[in-house]
Amino acid sequence: MSGLIIAIDGPAAAGKGTLARRLAKHFNLPYLDTGLLYRATGRRVLDHGGDPRDVATAEHAARTLLPVDLERGDLRGPEADKAASAVASIPGVRAALLEFQRDFGAKNGAVLDGRDIGTQVFPNARVKLFVTASAEARGKRRYAELLARGIAADLAEVTDEIIARDEADRNRSAAPLVPAADAITLDTTALDADAAFMTALKMVEHTLS
Ligand code: CDP
């Protein structure tokens, strides 16, 4: 399906990444986890002892981001989550990362997941999914992911952190987390990864038919 853009947005730990990867494989499209751009920008600020909320420092980190930064091993976990969310609220950071995302999809199409793919990055995407789940389900999933990565965590803290980050992402003025008017919502609260994929695939095929 060369040229097809599938935009997947939604709150933290809703299962966007797993779903996006599987849809990309199915349609033979490249996949971009756009959260990594914000995570890597936040990490670059922290590397130099900076504050991710500092506009000039964060914008400089975003403008000088290199593809290799996305391969760092420390882009997950509570510190990276908070730094990503902080830099993501800065309009100049978002502007600096926009071109890379558009270029990624421009040539052969792509599946991209994030918060503003269907609203800002590819507002004309042919397929837009808004993937969500209850905060409780998302907290449990993120907790299990952290344990699987060997990162010590507390379920209540992880859930609270997710709720706080969603709140910040929803209420910021720059590209807030909001479903695009033409997005299809997929609630994965009661679905495992296979069921979420099968449901999403039907939605995508229906949109393309
Ligand atoms: O994996 P998880 O859903 O927890 O987060 P992520 O997709 O890696 O995104 C981390 C943070 O980056 C989010 O909380 C947002 O603040 C920001 N982000 C964004 O603003 N726009 C995007 N397109 C992707 C991520």
List pLDDT tens digits, range 17-68: 999 999 999 999 999 999 999 999 999 999 989 999 999 999 999 999 999 9
Which residues in the chain show pLDDT less than 70? Answer: 1
Residue 77: the pLDDT is: 86
Number of domains in the chain: 1
Q: How far is CA 76 from CA 23, 42, 107, 151, 178, in A?
A: 23, 11, 29, 9, 23
Q: Is 65 left (phi over 0), alpha (psi -120 to 50) or beta?
A: beta
Ligand 1 atom closest to the CA of 121, numbered from 1 = 23
- Which CATH number does the domain housing residue 69 bear? 3.40.50.300
Half-sphere exposure of 38 (CA within 13 A, CB side): 26
Question: How many angstroms does the Cα of residue 39 sit away from the middle of ligand 1?
Answer: 8
Query: Taking a C-beta distance cutoff of 8 angstroms, is the pair 114, 105 a contact?
Result: no
Helix (H, G, I), strand (E, B) or coil at 110: strand
Range of the domain at 200: 5-208
113 Cα–ligand 1 center, Å: 9
Residue 179 CA to ligand 1 centre (angstroms):
14
Please give the pLDDT value at position 204.
97
Q: Is the CB of 101 under 6 A from ligand 1?
A: no
Ligand 1 centroid to residue 132 C-alpha, Å: 14
The answer to whether the CB of 11 is under 6 A from ligand 1 is no
